Structure 1
Amino acid sequence: MSHLDGSYAVNVSDVRDEVVPALSDLTASLIDHDDPDTVLRLVTAACTRLLGASATGVLLSDPRGGMSVVSASDERSRFVELLQTQADEGPCVDCIRDGVAVTTTDLAAEDRWPTFRPAALAAGYRAVHASPMRLDGQVLGGLNLLYLEPASLESWQQRLAQVLADLAVLGLSQETGPARVHRLTERTLTTLNDRVQLAHAVGLVAGTLDVGVDVARTRILDHAREAGRPVRDVARALTNGEIEPAAVAAAR
């Protein structure tokens, strides 16, 4: 990935050194049948480590209609993803509808997406790359890479982004045979419900500890990792009072 003004470029040798550990983490998570949220967090980390993305997000076609945000690396990127679903426009929406990767190297120079474009610029993002997420020939969602500066992806980086999108799909649907699409639909609904539960827990922790929502989310995720518990279980325990918000404050 290179910035259009030449101010920054990903060091290929650095990426080469990072590819093996990043993909090893992802494949190990798939082999261990980790929950989808864990796999999506590893995909997010890989997008940052390997492709220099400032933030990431995942949209999935909602079986109930429309599209839904199932993963975002922070609240600012979550807002941009939600904007695409509400405005029904944007790179990831086009990516899912057309089944092809969609890239904008400089949003400021774009004439597409009249609602999405100015709001994304106001949020600080200047470039977006969306890769389709496919299962059994169907496009089920899209992986968004968001950049704070104008940027273009080289062909090998676009292929790597597609690999990460494919691994995200595997994390959401580790099943064989004709039942896979049905199972993914079920998992999508579960993931959406888990997201709502986590959002409630984040708000509770943020309000109680007087910290920002991104800090609260990180502390919950760190606590879940240290405790060896699924994030959904920790979020549920926080919202029903089994865990006090102060308990996650010590997460490192």
Structure 2
Amino acid sequence: MTKKQLPLDELSTAIGRILGLLLTEEKVDHAVQNLSQAIWDSVPGTLGAGVSILDALGRRTSRGFTDAVVEEADFLQYQLGEGPCLTAWASEQTVLVHDVSADIRWPEWTASVRDLPIKSVISAPLLAGGRSIGAIKVYSPETSAYDATTAKLLELFASPAATLLSHIQSAETPKRISEGLQSALHSRDLVNRACGILMERHQIPHASALQRMLKHARDHGSTLQDVSAEIVAGIPADQN
């Protein structure tokens, strides 16, 4: 169900709340989750929100996503090297998409998400210290769900959030490099092992196995890592 447009006083309260939460956070993970949830609460018609930033190993990743659809749509952008969020990040300009299926800027990504409940997108860059450190985005299941006013709203979140996230991220960097490397290696191994199980079970290629896992995660409101863990642990799951 489409959410109503927030009155100006409620909007101001929402922005004040997220800034207060970010200021008190000590970890990027918590700050990003709070940011995504506040955006989802405040932007009418939104199915899911999330943040794209670099992980401890310098790779583009999605954090704090409020819906598995966001994770899958973003993953396809990173895999294909194109999409609205990557464009916003690289160009340092807000990207507004009224109808994903009719947009010709990212043909491979558009074709890949045609079965996802994504029709409209806005992505705004996170600019801090004269550089773009990532992007925030919202996805809607309705065409023309967003307009220039909505884009300005997202930019209101992006500007102060980028500065605060940059400071938190910098303070965590030494510790995150060590922890991030260990976590990334474990996550990659887990996903690859799960893919291998599905490849052998169904006699399918790696890409198809990964797509099945992403779809299962989306359908069940889970994450790719959780689905991988279930498969490896031998927990029955419908991966057909």
The TM-score bracket by the shorter chain reads 0.5 to 0.7
Question: Which residues of 2 match residues 132-211 of structure 1 at below 5 A?
Answer: 132-174=125-167, 183=171, 189=177
Distance in 2 of aligned mates of 1:194 and 1:214:
26
CA contact (8 A) 2:119 2:141 kept: yes
* 1:126 CA displacement: 0.7
Aligned with residue 24 of structure 1, among 16, 30, 39? 16
Distance in 2 of aligned mates of 1:17 and 1:194:
44
Amino acid at match of 1:41: Q
1:125 aligns with 2:132: no
Cα deviations by residue, 1:11-55 (Å, 9 ceiling, x for unpaired): 3xx343432442232222233234222222222222222212211
CA contact (8 A) 1:134 1:169 kept: yes
Unaligned runs of 5+ in 2: 192-216, 225-240
1:69 aligns with 2:45: no
* 1:133 CA displacement: 0.5
Q: What is the SS of the residue equivalent to 2:106?
A: coil
RMSD over equivalenced CA pairs, Å = 3.6
CA contact (8 A) 2:49 2:136 kept: yes
Would you say how many aligned residue pairs link Structure 1 and Structure 2? Answer: 195
Q: What is the SS of the residue equivalent to 2:51?
A: strand
TM-score (norm 1): 0.64
1:39 aligns with 2:39: no
Distance in 1 of aligned mates of 2:159 and 2:94:
13
Amino acid at match of 1:54: L
Cα deviations by residue, 1:59-113 (Å, 9 ceiling, x for unpaired): 1245755522233212221011111111000001111111111111101111121
Which segment drifts farther, 154-163 or 122-131? 154-163
Identical positions, percent: 18
Q: 1:54 to 1:116 in 2, by over 3 A?
A: same
CA contact (8 A) 2:96 2:147 kept: no
Aligned with residue 109 of structure 1, among 88, 96, 102? 102
Q: 1:102 to 1:215 in 2, by over 3 A?
A: closer
Amino acid at match of 1:115: E
Q: What is the SS of the residue equivalent to 1:164?
A: helix
Q: 1:100 to 1:184 in 2, by over 3 A?
A: farther
* 1:132 CA displacement: 0.3
